[in-house]
Structure 1
Amino acid sequence: MTRPLTPRQQNVYDFIVKTMNDLGYPPTRAEIARALGFRSPNAAEEHLRALNRKGAIRMIPGTSRGIRLTAQEATTEPQGTTTEAAPTPQEGLAIIGEVAAGSPILAAEHIDRYCPLPPDYFTPRADYLLRVRGLSMQDIGILEGDLLAVHRTEHIRDGQIVVARLEDEVTVKRFKRQGHKVWLIAENADFPTIEVDLRHQDLEIEGIGVGVIRGGNGQALH
């Protein structure tokens, strides 16, 4: 950090640090706005740009969680040393049930239990399992009650199955984007395609589907 921060910028910076320490990933603009009482995500964006200019963070364009702490990036391990991974209180993948509006998807209150499958059972590795609600993806074999293995990534391609958060509603759909328009496409003719205008709507991609556990009973499908 090369230049001093204003009190408000410090509040934003501290919230980013806390979120990354608690959850392992940075907050979105909408989450910053809600936590700090800003009127809109645009206000959070202005503070992030100021932090970026002052060297406190590095912003990665085109991603909802594209924030990196420059202090962490500058920290490197000396050659010849090894670090021991911190112990985790649970083994396996978290199973996410109902997701509360405005709350990070991996918040503790969303975790129903843990599945003993290791993350690298799936390729790419899974970060969590989401319990599927509804029948909008039944035509490709993703059914009510299944567990969708999800890999968190900032790199989304057209045609991938994604977990999307649209204005605090979490849904599983096929992704397509053209310019500022995104289509979230159901795989069931009874469900309409959701059209999103990124200029006016807040869309977050929580990850891509990398496998399915049928009915949550342990029968994994890739």
Structure 2
Amino acid sequence: MIKLTARQEQILNLIRDAIINTGFPPTRAEIARELGFRSVNAAEEHLQALARKGAIEISPGTSRGIRLIKSATELANERDSRQLVLPHPALMQLSLPLIGRVAAGSPILALEHVEATYQVDPSLFSAKPDYLLKVRGMSMRDAGIIDGDLLAVKKSDNARNGQIVVARLGDDVTVKRYHKSDDLIELLPENADFKPIRIDPERDDFSLEGLAVGLLRSWN
């Protein structure tokens, strides 16, 4: 059994709650803000300690690259099973289409939108994605999502408040944080330079395309 300090337990619960509620682990800045740390370095030190104890994995090359680890008993059972039948590494990868610019009015997964196909590790994501979407613009910068990132998206036509979604509004496809109250839907940016988009679902041409479940970033 992993022995954690009270503060490490607190951070682990914060990570778990963030993944359940939004589909994403928190950023270092969000952890620091939530727990009252003076700098993100303190959050990073706690995350590294959790990684050393085997409670989480930190994935290099991915934004918000924190993954929860199963219990020691579960891991041991999986290890024993793998010793009996070891799948080929290629079979453990997801094959995901990369969607570039989406033409107005056409399905997001139309063949003409597919720029490439990526083989990726499914453990990087909070849920199994259906495709990768190339992010354009900086409206979600403060959520750790920037221009050129590859957003992993699970197809869905509904969302909970606070989740990051891919939405279609008229001829545009956008990535924003979702919030619904009464008869109003708001698509909220994570950058003070951008304004919220307010939608009347009865009048506006609006639909949800999917939920963000992870992010890949190229450091080249």
Q: When the two structures are superposed, what TM-score results if normalisation uses the length of structure 2?
A: 0.55
Runs of 4+ in structure 1 over 2 Å off: 118-121
Do the aligned residues in 2 keep the contact of 1:96 with 1:130 (CA within 8 Å)?
Answer: yes
Which of 95, 100, 103 is 1:100 aligned to? 103
1:195 matched residue in structure 2: 198
Q: Match for 2:99: what amino acid?
A: I
TM superposition shift of 1:123? 2.3
Give RMSD over aligned pairs: 1.6
Change (3 A) 1:207 1:181: same
Percent identity over the alignment is 50
What is the aligned counterpart of 1:204 among 207, 212, 215? 207
| Aligned counterparts of 2:135 and 2:161: Cα–Cα separation in 1 | 21
What secondary structure does 1:134 align onto?
Answer: coil
1:171 Cα deviation from its structure 2 partner: 0.3
Give yes or no for contact 1:162–1:209 (8 Å, CA) kept in 2: yes
Kindly indicate whether the alpha-carbon contact (under 8 Å) linking 2:131 and 2:153 is maintained by their aligned counterparts in 1: yes
User: Where in structure 2 are there 5+ consecutive unaligned residues?
Assistant: 1-93
**Counterpart of 2:160 in structure 1: which amino acid?**
R
* Distance in 1 between residues matched to 2:199 and 2:169, nearest whole Å: 8
Q: Write out per-residue CA displacement over residues 139-190 of structure 1, whole angstroms, 9 at most, x where no aligned residue.
A: 1110100000001123310000000000120000000011221000000000
1:133 is aligned with what amino acid? Answer: R
Instruction: From the two aligned structures, give the one with the greater helix fraction.
Output: 2
3-state SS of the aligned residue for 2:112? Answer: helix
Note the C-alpha offset of 1:207. Answer: 0.4
1:159 aligned to which of 152, 162, 174 = 162
Quick one: structure 1 residues 216 and 210, their matched pair in 2 at CA, closer, same or farther if it must change by over 3 Å?
A: farther
Tell me which of 166, 172, 177 is aligned to 1:174.
177
Alignment of 1:75-94 (within 5 A): 92-94=95-97
Equivalent residues, number: 127
Shift in Å at residue 215 of structure 1?
A: 3.3
Distance 1:137 1:188, change over 3 A: same
Partner amino acid for 1:165?
R
Unaligned regions of 5+ residues in structure 1, if any? 1-90, 218-222
| TM-score normalised per structure 1 | 0.54
